[in-house]
Chains A and B, each alone.
Chain A
Amino acid sequence: GAVVSQHPSRVICKSGTSVKIECRSLDFQATTMFWYRQFPKQSLMLMATSNEGSKATYEQGVEKDKFLINHASLTLSTLTVTSAHPEDSSFYICSAGIPANEKLFFGSGTQLSVL
């Protein structure tokens, strides 16, 4: 089946630094990728839709200048958490879908801890 690779799996950083998370579709092309945030024992909160070659579409309440998304190729989308603060600590997951059947394949997630 399709594979989505997400790196890093875990990152610890100091407050004020920026963190980049990569999401790659390994064996298929993904014109659209999705970024989610998940708090412990809670659901997936869609943050933004990443579109290859164009600007990302952010959900209401998500700061686009805080969470920078770049989808430069059909197999790579990146999420940069800028000037991270402790309240940004969370589990971030990406997903990509194969347009033909629309099912989503998820990356393994990134646990971000901001000290």
Chain B
Amino acid sequence: GQQVMQIPQYQHVQEGEDFTTYCNSSTTLSNIQWYKQRPGGHPVFLIQLVKSGEVKKQKRLTFQFGEAKKNSSLHITATQTTDVGTYFCAGKNTNAGKSTFGDGTTLTVKP
């Protein structure tokens, strides 16, 4: 079945440093979504990427979808303490009715 791998599992950064998490799928995706889960909270939708090579920005967050639509990345510039949490990618196959979640990357930011 479809597998979605996400690295790194954990990332500790100093406030102000950049952060990147990577997501790789074993199959070509129709779309990929990113979610953020704060400690003790539930996942919250951040963005969806659909097109090959697509790049979207949300303030300090930059999301990319690979040309082959099998990988994606989330980059945060100049992290802040409010960025702490676990970031999940979720990839969907064209013929699938559900998305497969990556294992998540947990970000901690030291003030």
Contacts and interface: CB of A to CB of B under 8 A. Distances in A.
Interface of A: 32, 34, 41-44, 46, 49, 93, 95, 101-109
A44 B88 contact: yes
A104 B101 CA distance: 12
Interface string B98-111: 11111110100000
A56 B44 CA distance: 24
A107 B42 contact: yes
Contact of A43 (B33, B88, B97, B98): B88
A77 to B, nearest CB: 14
Interface of B: 31, 33, 35, 41-45, 48, 88, 90, 92, 97-104, 106
Contacts of B41: 108
Contacts of A106: 35, 42-44
B97 A93 contact: no
Given A43-B101, A46-B98, A104-B99, 10 more contacts: A41-B106, A93-B43, A102-B33, A102-B48, A103-B33, A103-B45, A104-B35, A104-B90, A106-B35, A109-B42
A44 B43 contact: yes
Contact of B97 (A41, A49, A107): A49
